[in-house]
Structure formats: C-alpha cells, structure tokens
Amino acid sequence: MPAMVEVDDLVKHYGEGPGRITALAGVSFSIERATITAIVGPSGSGKSTLARCINSLVRPTSGRISIDGADLATHTVENRRRIGTIFQGSSLQRRRTALRNVLLPLEFAGVDRSQARARAQELLDLVGLGGRGGSYPAELSGGQKQRVGIARALALRPSVLLADEATTGLDHANRASVLQLLRDLRAELGLTIILITHEMDVAREIADNALLLAEGSIVERGAIRDLVLQDSLVRDNLFPPRPHLAAPDRHTYRIHYAAREVPLDWVARLSERLPEPLQVLGATVEELKGEAVGYMIVASTAGPAEITRAGGGFGLQIRELGSADE
Amino acid sequence: MNEFGLVLLQVDRTFFDYAELVVPALGATLAMVGIVFPITALIGLPLAVVLINTGRNGLFPHKSTHQVLSVVINVGRSIPFLILMAAVIPLSRLIVGTSLGVAGAVVPLTLASIPSFTRLMESSLREVPRDVVEAGFASGGTRWQLIGKVQLPEALPGLVSNTTIGLINILDGTAIAGAVGAGGLGYLALSYGYNRFDGTMMLICVVILVILAQGIQLSGDALAHRLRKD
C-alpha cells in the first residue's frame, strides 16, 4: 500500500525573472496512514505554500503530490474532496447556519438532500455541537466556529485532514479542546492528519512526526520523540535555553532525558556514582504524550568523561556547557 | 394644452390640473426605472462577477479580459450622462426607433447605468473574505458552484444595499433625461417648474422624487439588514 501522502520534489516559485521568490525549493516527503504530522517552521518558511499546494489552492511550479496513490494534478475536483481542510480563524459563511456550513461540501458533491442533512447533523454531533446547528457563525465562539470548520472538513469523508494554523488565535482552553478533538478523530476515524503550524507546542501536544521547514526546504524530519532526544532544531524550539543558576567552580552539564527510558530517580542514582552529588541548577520538563521529556542543568566536580561513564546505561544525553554557551 | 398662456394662468391651476399632468409623468418615470433597472441588473451583476473573478485573486484569473473590461467600464462611467444621451441618439433610433419619450430614454439610461452598477456590485462581491471562497474551493466546489453558493449568497446584503444606490441613481438619471425630451417627472419639473416659473409644480415633482428615493432607500436598507447575519 502506498503512503497516504507522497510529495515528490515539490517546487513553487512566485513571480518570474530576477524578482522571483522561491517558496518551496524541492520538498519531498511521505506521510503514513493514520499518523499526525506537524509541518512546522517560522513564517516565510514555505509551510503555508506547502499546505496550499496540498489542498490545491496553489498550483506547484513543478513536482508531484499524490494522495492515497492518486496524483493531485489530475481529476482535481475529486482529489480536492479527498482532503478536508481546516482553516485558520473563521472561514465559515456568515449567512449560513452551522448546519448549512457543514452541508456545503455535500451540496457541492451533489449528495441527496435528506442524506446530506443527516450526515451534517451526525458531524455536528461528532464535534460536540449537535444542538447548535441553527446558529449563525456570529453567534458561536471562536472554538465553536473552528469545530464547525472541522465538521465541514470531514463532510466528504476525506482520507487526509489538513489543519492550516487551525488553532492560531484561539485561547488556551479552546485550543486544547480543538486539539483533543483532532486526537479523537484520528483514533476513531483513522484519519491522516497534517498540521501546519508555527506553534511548536501544538506539534508537541498531538503530533507523531514533525517536519521542520526553513526557507523552502526541509531541515529536519522524524518522530517528535526522537527529535527531542537529539541535538535538533525541533528540540531547541520546544525547549528553548532558559537562564539557570551558575556554579563557577564546577563543570556545568545539560542532560536531556525522556522518562520512559530513564529511571525516574536518575539524579539520585547518578549522584551515587559520582564523588559528590549533582547540583541542580535548572530544569525544563514537558509532557510528550504522557511521557516526561526535558532537560536538567546540573553542576558537578566530575569531568565530562567521568560523568558520561557514570551516566552510561541510563539513556541520558549529556552535554557540557562551555562558559560561552548559553 | 395652451403652451403660451400657462405662465400667467399658473395661479389658477386646480388640484386636478396638477394631477392630470403629474400622474402620467409619474407613470413615465416609473416606466423608465422599471425598464432600465432590470436590464441594468441583468447585465451589471454578471459583468461584476466576471470582473472580480478575472482579477488576480479571482476564480478564473485572466489579466487581459479583466483589464479591457475595467477600462471600458471606467470610460463609460466618466462620460457625463447629458452628453451620453445626445451621443447615443442614433443608437436609440436604431434600437427603439425614436430618441424621444420613455422609449428614447431607455437606451442611454441603460448604457449610463450599467458601468456604475457593475462597479457597485463588484465592490459588494469584493467584501466576501478570500478565505471563505478558498474554504469553498477546498470543500470541493467547482467554480460555478463557488459563484452560486459562496460568492453571491455571502455578498447578498451588500449587493442589496448597493442595488438601492444603483436604483436611486437610475431615478436621478430619469430626471436628467427629462431635460432632453424623455418625459416623466424630471421633464415636468423642468418645463413647468423651471421654464414657466410654476413653483408649485416644481415642488410637487421634487417631493414625489424625494418620496420615491426615500422609499427605495428605506426598503433597501431594511432588506439588507434582514439578510445580514453578523
């Protein structure tokens, strides 16, 4: 079975001649079924263009995208219907009720009226807005509108759900509930979800894989859990260096760990193997799918070789911080 | 009717004398608006749809079509109506057989109102947020479906508001057309009220025109308000 999404050497230029802007400079990747992939990157990195190529809003200059084995360049309307897109903010029609907004793709596809209404109602129930079908977008909160947008994106039973900055601009509670809904959808419907976001936290909270774009190229890719345990930009973005205490007469180390692999009392056990206990200078720990992942800044009289030897077998990633570093 | 004696006899006019003149003139004005408006709307709205969708962010961008259309509309809009009326007399004779009366006014009035009406409709269509149309596209709509189910319905309150303005513009136009032989309330106001110093006639015509314009405006506003859901 082919991967759900395959992108092959995708290039997109805007404009022509010397003023030409390259938004995507040959991007290739594939996305497996029923996974959540976050495409992250700063603004101007090309992630938006990539999203717009995937949902056919932008025609690539060259390269190929296929969804479930079907080339996007052919049969465009049918292929567009294989991808449900959730947009940033409210892209709902103001003059259609929530129910009729969800009905729109079904009307486009020519689904029988009563069947379409039943389907739209079922989708509103799924996103937890079963009772608000008669409300206009102006009467809904930001989070509720986004849920209607999700229901609309699901109307034609797409195989891929593309969320383009879908949580940007939502407050914390609304964002959490939208993310929870996406997680549930993946579990219940086996959807393949692509999240385009500049918010690393969003990627951390729900994605399995990440793809980091910069200046139109992929600079990092892989399972998020692997990336946070390596020296990676994804990790640096998720765990930005923060100020910590200083211990001028000792070596200072940054130790990365993931709690599922590392004994929870690793600080105590590592201290036992060293001449003096470790001093904790700072720490950042975040939850990654139920697992504590993060780093500690510690000070020790032990040199790099000694501490690496002592920490061997704990699955820690130890790096000495120079005085110039951080 | 005594063309020359009326100036002196104006004070002696009765209510019925006025009614006898005003009622047919009102009928002529309404007839002009009633013929010109549907034709203008039928041509102007599709033109606006073409104009907006051949534009850069439209559904079927086509630079040359867009530019030609845009220039033609701008030229049409910049010709003063009075001059246009005189200039299209041969065309009027060709199409409706006369350049006088209601029939004669229909061709120049329609020609004059289409460009501005198109721009009015275009500006309403432009108010539909781009991401709403894009969401429709991503929802699997064809271009025609997007026009029919997204662009036009979303723009409807604005289209109604601006149609109100377009309708009043046409009413204005009929009054100007009256100056060059079209008949109607404008003609009455000018020929009796202005040329023959009949202040009462002038007042009657102005009041009726104001009532008509207000009626159009108020009902347009009310309808647009009812259609608006935000």
- In Å, the largest CA–CA distance within chain B is 73
Rounded Cα gap, residues A88 and B103, in angstroms: 54
At B148, list the tokens.
Answer: 């029919």
Q: Is B1 within the bounds of a domain?
A: no
Put simply, the chain B residues between 106 and 145 with a CB less than 8 A from any chain A CB are 129, 131-132, 134-142, 145
Q: Give pLDDT, residue B1.
A: 47
Number of domains observed in the structure of chain B: 1
Of A200, A205, A206, A201, which Cα lies nearest the Cα of A220?
A200
Nearest C-alpha of chain A: how many angstroms from B225? 12
Instruction: Report pLDDT for B47.
Output: 97
Q: Does A100 touch chain B (CB under 8 A)?
A: no
State the pTM of this model. Answer: 0.83
Contact B135 A80 (CB under 8 A): no
Contact B138 A92 (CB under 8 A): no
Please report whether residue B159 resides in a domain: yes
Each residue of A278-287: pLDDT tens digit? Answer: 889 988 888 8
Indicate whether B7 belongs to any domain: no
Nearest to B82 by CA among B176, B14, B19, B169: B176
Does residue B6 lie in a domain region?
no
How many CA atoms does the CB half-sphere of A10 hold within 13 Å?
A: 32
A95 CB neighbours in chain B (<8 A) are 153-154, 156-157, 227-229
Residue A161 contacts residue A111 (beta carbons within 8 Å): no
Count how many pairs of residues, chain A against chain B, have C-beta atoms within 8 Å: 78
Residue A324 predicted with pLDDT over 50: no
Residue B3 lies in a domain: no
Looking at the domain assignment, is residue B2 inside a domain? no
pLDDT for residue A60 is more than 70: yes
Angle in degrees, CA A240, A246, A247, rounded to 5: 135
User: Chain A residues with CB inside 8 Å of B230's CB?
Assistant: 94, 136-138
Contact B134 A138 (CB under 8 A): no
Per-residue confidence (pLDDT) for residue A247, from 0 to 100? 82
Picking from A95, A107, A149, the nearest residue to B154 by CB comes out as: A95
Per residue in B92-143, pLDDT tens? 888 888 888 888 889 999 999 999 999 999 999 999 999 999 999 999 999 9
Residue to test with chain B: of A16, A52, A101, A104, most B Cβ within 10 A = A104
Output phi, psi for B158, to 5 deg.
-65, -40
Task: Tell me whether residues A57 and B136 touch, CB distance under 8 A.
Answer: no
* Residues A209 and A36 sit within 8 Å (Cβ to Cβ): yes
Find, among A93, A68, A86, the residue nearest to A78 by Cα.
Answer: A68
CB nearest A95 (choices: B135, B136, B156): B156
CA dihedral A251, A254, A260, A265 (to 10 degrees): 30
What is the C-alpha separation between A70 and B32, in angstroms, rounded? Answer: 57
CA distance A209 to A202: 12
pLDDT digits 0-9 by tens, B145-178: 999 999 999 999 999 999 999 999 999 999 888 8
Smallest CA–CA distance, residue A296 to chain B, in Å, is 44
Amino acid (1-letter code) at residue A253: Y
Taking contacts as CB-CB distances below 8 angstroms, the residues of chain A near B157 are 95
Which of A48, A79, A82, A95 is the mutation pick for testing B, counting most B CBs within 10 A? Answer: A95
Cβ neighbours of A155 in B, within 8 Å? 139
Cα A132 off chain centre by:
29
For residue B12, what pLDDT is reported?
65
| Residue B5, domain member (yes or no) | no
Range of the domain at B42: 15-229
Q: Are A10 and A50 in contact (CB under 8 A)?
A: yes
Digit-coded pLDDT (tens) for A76-127 = 788 788 899 999 877 999 999 999 999 999 999 999 999 999 999 999 999 9
- Cross-chain CB nearest to A81 (options B140, B145, B229): B140
The alpha carbon of residue B221 is apart from the nearest alpha carbon of chain A, in Å, by 17
Residue tagged 């991401």 (tokens): B131
- Asked whether residue B161 is assigned to any structural domain, the reply reads yes
Chain B residue numbers with beta carbons less than 8 Å from the beta carbon of A137 are: 229-230
Using alpha carbons only, how large is chain A's radius of gyration in Å? 23
Query: For residues A94 and A103, what is the distance between their CA atoms, to the nearest angstrom?
Result: 14
> What is the residue-averaged pLDDT of chain B?
90
pLDDT in tens, A193-231: 999 998 888 888 889 999 999 999 999 999 988 888 888
Count other Cβ atoms within 10 Å, centred on residue A172: 8
Token pair 């774009």 is found at A213
How far apart CA B178 and CA B144 sit, in angstroms, is 41
Mean pLDDT to the nearest integer, B182-194: 86
pLDDT of residue B69: 96
Is the CB of residue A77 less than 8 Å away from at least one CB of chain B? yes
* Subunit contact B140:A80, Cβ cutoff 8 A: yes
Q: Quick one: pLDDT at residue A293?
A: 86
8 A C-beta contact, residue A93 and residue B153: yes
Q: How far apart are the C-alpha atoms of B106 and B85, rounded to whole Å?
A: 10
Per-residue model confidence as pLDDT tens digits over A261-277: 888 888 888 888 888 88
Look at residue A167 in the predicted model and tell me its pLDDT: 86
User: Which of B57, B137, B139 to mutate: most A Cβ within 10 Å?
Assistant: B139
CATH number at residue B171: 1.10.3720.10
Going by their DSSP bridges, the two strands A36-40 and A192-197 should be labelled as parallel
pLDDT of residue A75: 63
List the one residue out of A196, A275, A261 whose CA is nearest residue A229: A261
Is the predicted pLDDT of residue A316 greater than 90, yes or no? no
Reported confidence tier of residue B11, pLDDT bands at 50, 70, 90: low
